[in-house]
Each structure stands twice: as structure tokens, then as C-alpha cells.
Structure 1
């Protein structure tokens, strides 16, 4: 298939770009335009994969460019978004422009190009704190941060283009993906990078909330399955392991995996506003199993440990660790 992949320069997007190329598809990778000609994490991929990618610098907020980007594509895999929750408190307008209007720009372009599949990336944050567990796709949506509110709106726009215009959409809703290349704004890289830099008292946000962490190869497998599956059109599909663990327990597992004796403390600067914190996320992945035939390979505590070990190994490579600021909290 001829695929447009937005957000290809980011964490999940770069892993996905590599896999989609290896699967034999023709990839046009939208990377955020910048004056350094950086392709983000795609700068470090192997030459044999990079040669097969058509790189397109741009911004999903530009509707004319999105029309051009989607033209002649069979499918759109839309991952581009602003995702940092703390920054959404400071710049909510920017999240509306990128996550909502940017998604609408791509939807209009996909409709004009008559694509055969539009895969949209949601987030488990749209559910807010669990009202029941495990959380299926029918769980109420709760915009507990400007980020999550913007993603709820984007999800609804995608659904509206399916119901109103028949656009063949699939909304993939990952739960807390982690792995190599992830931003230190996420908790697992925050822990690993601080420990790898020699800190033995690690500064974190709240330690009691629980998450359902999915190792990035499993998330990528969910997306690639959705690309080629004949099922799932019009559906919202969770990608989660179905394994719940607290941030404090996660810290302990990482320290154990790295063989380090350390403690975690709550840094007030890293705490979300009280009513904005999502206290509990725990997925029901029944639809992913039944509709896509997807199931995580890294499941349960053993799978989580395996993913943590591999992630820690990547971060502790000096060249990788040097790309992270471990001495300051950056929103």
C-alpha cells in the first residue's frame, strides 16, 4: 500500500515507519518542519530502511500541504499530535490547533483522496480516571486535561467523518506505550534516564496512580494489523496489555532491572492539578483480540520486566542518554 504516516519522526511513529517499510509498503513520512533539517528519531534508522522512505517536512496545521501529502495515498496512519500533558496546561490553544484542527485537515484531505483506510491515534487519557475496570471502549470519556480534551474532540471528528461521509476510519487507542526513543516527559524514560545519569533519589510526580504499560513493539503490531485488516472500520479499539501497575511499583521494577538501589520522591513541580490527575488506567483489550487478532507478546509482570530491561539497555547507551536532559524537569 501507499501510506502517509504523520508523526513519523516521533517515538511510536519512528518505530512504526521502520516496520511498515519492512512489511513492504511505500511510506511517505511527514516529519515536523524545522530549520535543522532534522527528521527526529528517523535520523538514526538504518540506511536500507531510510532509502525506502519519502520524507516530507511539514505541519498538519497546514491544510493545503495535507491535501498534497495525502494525494495518491491508499492509507493514512495519523500519529502526529502534541502529547505532553503538562505543556497542555500552559498552551491549550496550541493543542486545539494541532490535535483538533490538524486532524480535521487530514480528514478533509483523506476524503478528497478517497483513501481506503484512515487510522487515527487516540490515547487512553481520553477515559480519565477509571470509573470501572477493566476499561473497554464504552467507558465514559473525561477531559481531565487540555490534552485529553483535545484528543476526545479529535476522536469525535474522526467518527463524524465515518458516519457522515463514509470515510473508512479506524481509531486505535493505545494505553501508555513505552520503549526506546520515548520522551523523558513520560514516566518510564524519566526514571531510567535519571538512574542512568547516576541519581539515586529520583524526582517523579505522583507515585500512586496506576497505568497499563504496553511495550512499543506490541503497539506497532496493533497499528500494522489495523492497516491490512479487512475488519475494524468505524471502530475504536484499545491497545492495552490488561496489566495494572502503580508508578511506585514501576520505579521498583526499573531499579531492580538496572541493578540499582534508589528511592523515588514526589516532586511538587511534577504533580498534575488535583482534579486533572488520572488515578487509574487498566485496559480491556477484547476488541483488539476479536477484531484485529492482536494480542500483546509482552504481557503480565514478566513481559513488563522484559520490556523494561530492553528499554533500560537502550537508554544507558551513552549516545542515547546524551540526548536527554536528566538535570532538569522540562514540560
Structure 2
């Protein structure tokens, strides 16, 4: 499943995943009982529901009229759900005939889930409890004529119905908590402006890379935008932010899984590469050239300067970063828009 950009996208995906198997089940039911006696009213209901779900499926695929699909489905499902339970109470339980709810119980979780998806957590809870209350009143009306066997079945139906309501309600909140937690984790390690790794994440990566540097080489590419203060002074800080975002996107497009990329701070960025120093220098040259040829939307052409170095056995992360920083300083001192390897 691709990345979902909004709650609407998520709901649409869930609806599609529910409607398709539901349609298959209903079509199978229609074919199975078409000429069999005693299924007339259920067959009509199933045909109506199949027709509506087919229309809904087409509209969902076309991404059109989603509110109509949602609330039309809510009305149809609610009426049919209440109608089938009413039929069970007044035409089966009241006459002590077997098969009161039939397949109704099997569809209860899907029906309640639909209530919550369409209406949201609070309104879904209220609506589901209101439907339960209607069923409870039906049970009270039939209690005097209810046999002992049916009484036990009805009590189990009520308990299961409440359980489904509560489990779906609390599961939804639990999923939201997990989602919020994952967002917090992501924000803790991601730079809000550029969407790249932030300083905290980079520190973690550096510690991990240095500890495993005996197996594979580790090189640092430290770079920043030349004369970035002039960009902010000339065009404003919003344009400056746009330049940083465009730059980050351009660099990410030209990196491989062997590199980890993040914003060190301000206009400074860092690339951690599993390549030797000379190969890292070549990568820096390629990036420098691509950036110098790129036309930023609101600030025109910009250049960057690089400091490149390779990890040396026994040194600390601070020493490694300091040497890369010296390389960057040398590139600035020697005219900018260049790569210096130390």
C-alpha cells in the first residue's frame, strides 16, 4: 500500500478493502439461494446492498462523491441491520422459531466498524450505542414470550455487541496513540524544515558508523551554501528556507543507500558515506557540480563548498567532524564552490 497523504485517503483505502470481499460474499449468497424458498426478503436486501456497493466501488475508484458514499452506506447498512435484528426478534424469537439472527451476528463487527469509520470515534460510539439501545428495547418487548434457550442467546448477543463496540472504540484510540508516538519518534530524529535527519539522528549514525569502521570505511562530507546570508538578506528568510528545502531534495535524489544525509544546522549539511576518502571526494565533486548547475526557483543559481575526510582508526567522532570542518573552512578560504579533502 502506498503512502497515504490524508485521513480521507486512509478511509477510502479501508472502504475499498471492505467493499470488495463484501460484494463477493453477497454475490455468492445471491447465486446460492436464488431459487430456494424462504430467502425472499433476504435476497431482496442483498440485491439492494450489492447494487449500492457496486456504485460505491465505482465512485471510490474515481475518487468522487465520497460523502455520498459514506452517508448513503450508513443509512442503508443501519436500516438493513436494524431490520434483520427486528425480523429475528419478532418473526423468529416471538414464535420460538429456530434461526433468529442467521448471518446477522457474523456481520456485526463489520457493521460497527463502518459506523466508526464513517462517523468518527465519538459520534460512532454514540450511534452504535443508540442502535444497541434499539435492540435492547426489542428484547424487552419480546421477553415475556422468550424461551430459556433464546434468552441465553439474546444475552450473549447483547454482551458480544457491546464488546464489539468497546473493542473497536478503544482500538481506534490505541491506534491513534501508536500513531502519535510514531510521529513523535519521527519528529525527534527529523529536521522539520528539510525533512532530512536532524543533529540528534546524525550523532547516533556517527556513533554507529565509527564503532563499525573496522569492517567498512567511513567518510564524512561536510558542506554548506556559499554566501547564504546574502540569500536571506536579498530575498528574505522564507526564500532562504525554500532554498534549503530544494537543496536537501536535490542532494537526496543523488545519494545511494550507502550514504546517510542530514542537516547539521543552519545552512550546513552532512553526508556519512561507506566509501573510501577518494570515492567520497568524487561523490562530493558530483554533488557540487549538480548543485552549481541547478536553478533554484526564487534565488537562481547557488554554490556549495565541501570538506571531506575519512575516519582514521582510533580517533573520536569529534576529531572526525573537526577535520571535515577544517576541510570546509579551507574550501571557503580558497574561493568557495570547491571540494577539499583532508
Q: Give TM-score, length-normalised by structure 1.
A: 0.22
By percentage of residues, which structure has more helix?
Answer: 2
Which is bigger in relative contact order (C-alpha 8 A, separation at least 6)? 1
By percentage of residues, which structure has more strand?
Answer: 1
Q: Give TM-score, length-normalised by structure 2.
A: 0.21
Which of structures 1 and 2 has the bigger CA Rg?
2
